[in-house]
Structure 1
Amino acid sequence: MIIDLRSDTVTKPTKDMLKAMMSTQVGDDVYKEDPSVNTLEERLADMFGMDKALFFPTGSMANQAALKLHTNPGEQVICDKYAHIYNYEGGGASFNSGISCKLINGHRGMFNAEQAEAAINPPDFYHSPLTSLIAIENTTNKGGGACWDYEELKKIKQVADRHKLGYHLDGARLWNALVVKKENPKQFGQLFDTISVCLSKGLGCPIGSVLIGKKELMDGALRVRKILGGGMRQVGYLAAAGLYALDNHVERLSEDHKKAKEIGEVLSQLHYIKKVEPIETNIVIFEVDDTISEAQYLNKLKEKNIHIIGMGSNKLRMVTHLDYTNNMHEEVLKTLKNL
């Protein structure tokens, strides 16, 4: 039995999801004639109370399109130093949009309104890049699945409005935050100009993300997606997976959260574990002490058929997900205790 806890992206479609995919109607989405894609886009736009949505093959492409829609070359986006758009999208902000990132030294990938305001460059000081966008990531990947406080997001929105800045949410794991915080998608639609949501992480789809936003921005999204190479044809098979997941895989995220916390509880009792980050959702980040190397620990677990990832500096990560069964969970807990 191989137990893969490297990411929640490793899941495979369930039998019922595959049935939904194979029985769906499709068309040519480049002509906007795929009924399943159109239904998915309409459903998500309605769910978040926003004007339009557009299906993308990846979350990085959806985020990169949003950056392009909000900015002009030479401008700057404010984000946390842990932000996915800065750390894990191949330098796309500079390559695709010609913009730079103003990094905030936040806490677990989150910052406050005062920090956001302090990071804005004076618009009349032409020596510095023009600030045009504030980007948020919820939940924070590198921050260990941390969930933003909604009231703080509202305060940052006031900062963005006051300075006439765009406001983008990288919501790759927003579904996890919605479940654990018992929040409503429309709350986020009221705050943000654009939101990207991922279907292939917690919801267990094989591929796909959706960018949702206000009409004045989203009118240009189709062209940007084309430029980035994201035009797809009979992609309704994948959209059908997303529709199935929205109906069946959102509420069950609480199971992943419970298992992650139980892993954290076991880790915190082990003498060689230096620190376990607070666990809110499905990501467990922990640090082994200096007597063990990160590589040693990874190899010891791999010998037991448990695969996780290293993050450098003796930090490691586990992510619970749809394909992580109760039997696997018991095996992981037992292995950790006896390692």
Structure 2
Amino acid sequence: MKINLISDTVTKPTPGMLDAMMHAEVGDDVFKNDPSVNKLEEKTAKLFGKEAALFFPSGTMTNQTAIKLHTQPGEQLICDKYAHVFNYEGGGASFNSGVSCRLVDGNRGMITADQVEEAINPPDFYHSPLTSLVCIENTTNKGGGACWDFEELKKIAGVCKKHGLAYHLDGARLWNALVAKNETPEQYGAIFDTISVCLSKGLGCPVGSVLVGDAKTIHDALRIRKILGGGMRQSGFLAAAGIYALDNHIERLAEDHLRAKEIGVALIGLSYIKKVEPVETNIVIFEIDENYMPSSEFTSKLEEEDIHIISMGQGKLRMVTHLDYTDDMHNQFMEVVRKL
């Protein structure tokens, strides 16, 4: 059987999700007349204790809209050097918003309030970009699915308030963090100005992300989504998948976390593995001992068994457990890895 651990975006809709999509009540969302989209937006905003939300085709577009909302051209945002908004969004921050990124050397994609304070440019020193935004990613993709300490996030919120900075959360895998840390969406809604959450990763939807914030911010986001080409018509078929996922697929993320941790433990015990990052959620990042075999040879051996993973560059390999990674697949994968 094919085992695809490249990402948690490779999932297909479950029978229950497909049924919800096929029976969705839809309209033209560009005119805000799609009942299912409106319901998803209201539901997501309520979850986070925010006034409003807006449905987007992708998490990248959601993040890019947030950056545009909170900045002006020539300004600067602060983020960790591993941040998705810097590494994996095609240079969108500079192209779409005309802003630069002040990269902070954090720990597995996580920075501290003290580091944020140090990175803020003096507002009256016009030779440097004006700092206007702090972007956080939870969980951290390149950091191996690491979860932030919520107390540190609150401290960073205090720094932002002190210096008049906006505070955005790239919560593409926030659902994983909430389950792993036993936290609530309301906690995050209380400290961030805007939050982007993805429906097509751990929750198993075919498409979609949602941006939440106050009513004015989301009203302004509608115009930016239009400019970026993100208006959709009968998108209620997709929104229905999101509603179903929010109702049925959050708690089950614990299963993905358990399998990922079992993979991590198995890898640590193998002689050809050089390093395994701590596994907290559904991402396993590890390195091969190149003296034993090149990482390319390792991935090739897995592909011969119809097992597929991905390289993160710099010798790092990544596996991501997900909704479609079953117990049978897990047992087969573990057996193959032990035999290599």
Q: TM-score, normalized by length of structure 2?
A: 0.99
In the TM superposition, what is the alpha-carbon distance from 1:302 to its structure 2 partner? Answer: 0.3
In structure 2, how many angstroms separate the alpha carbons of the residues matched to 1:23 and 1:72? 42
Deviation at 1:315, TM superposition (A): 1.2
Report the 3-state secondary structure (helix = DSSP H, G, I; strand = E; otherwise coil) of the residue aligned with 2:190: helix
| 1:314 shift after superposition | 2.0
| Equivalent pair of 1:260/1:320 in contact (CA under 8 Å) | yes
Q: Measure the CA separation in 1 of the matches of 2:253 and 2:294.
A: 32
In structure 2, how many angstroms separate the alpha carbons of the residues matched to 1:279 and 1:138? 14
**1:5: how far off?**
0.0
Q: CA deviation at 1:160?
A: 0.0
Q: 1:199 touches 1:208 (CA, 8 Å); kept in 2?
A: yes
Q: How many residues align?
A: 339
Q: CA–CA distance in 2 between the matches of 1:314 and 1:150?
A: 31
SS at match of 1:211: strand
- Cα distance in 2 between the residues matched to 1:70 and 1:86: 16
Q: Match for residue 168 of structure 1?
A: 168
The answer to whether the Cα contact below 8 Å between 1:294 and 1:313 also exists between their aligned partners in 2 is no
Contact 1:294 1:312 in 2 (8 A): no
- Give the conservation status (yes or no) of the 8 Å contact 1:308–1:316: yes
Quick one: which amino acid aligns to residue 52 of structure 1?
A
Deviation at 1:218, TM superposition (A): 1.7
**In the alignment, which residue of structure 1 is the partner of 2:321?**
320
Give the equivalent residue in structure 2 for 1:241: 241
Residue pairs, 1:267-286, within 5 angstroms: 267-286=267-286
Letter in 1 for 2:106: G
Q: For residues 236 and 162 of structure 2, what CA distance do their matches in structure 1 show?
A: 41
Matching of residues 252-331 of structure 1 within 5 Å: 252-291=252-291, 292-331=293-332
After the TM superposition, which segments of 4 or more aligned residues of structure 1 sit over 6 Å from their partners? none
3-state DSSP class of the match of 2:168?
A: strand
Paired AA for residue 312 in structure 2: M
More displaced 10-residue stretch of structure 1: 159-168 or 289-298: 289-298
Of 161-170 and 305-314, more deviation after overlay is shown by: 305-314
Q: Matched residues in 1 for 2:300 and 2:45: separation?
A: 44
- Please list every run of 5 or more consecutive structure 1 residues that lacks an aligned counterpart in the other structure: none
Instruction: Please name the residue that 1:25 is paired with.
Output: 25
Q: Is the Cα–Cα contact under 8 Å of residues 82 and 109 in structure 1 kept in the other structure?
A: yes
Partner of 1:251: 251
Equivalent position amino acid for 2:231 in 1: G
Aligned match of 2:6 = 6
Question: Counterparts of 1:206-225 in structure 2 under 5 Å?
Answer: 206-225=206-225
What is the RMSD of the two structures over their aligned residues, measured on CA atoms?
Answer: 0.5
Q: Where do residues 1-339 of structure 1 align in structure 2 (5 Å cutoff)?
A: 1-291=1-291, 292-339=293-340
Deviations 1:131-174 (A, max 9, x none): 00000000000000000000000000000000000000000000
TM-score by length of 1: 0.99
Counterpart CA distance in 2 for 1:321 and 1:328 is: 11
Structure 2 distance, partners of 1:84, 1:238, is 24
Question: Which stretches in structure 2 are left out of the alignment for 5+ residues?
Answer: none
Offset of residue 219 of structure 1: 1.9
CA–CA separation in structure 2 for the residues paired with 1:91 and 1:232: 24
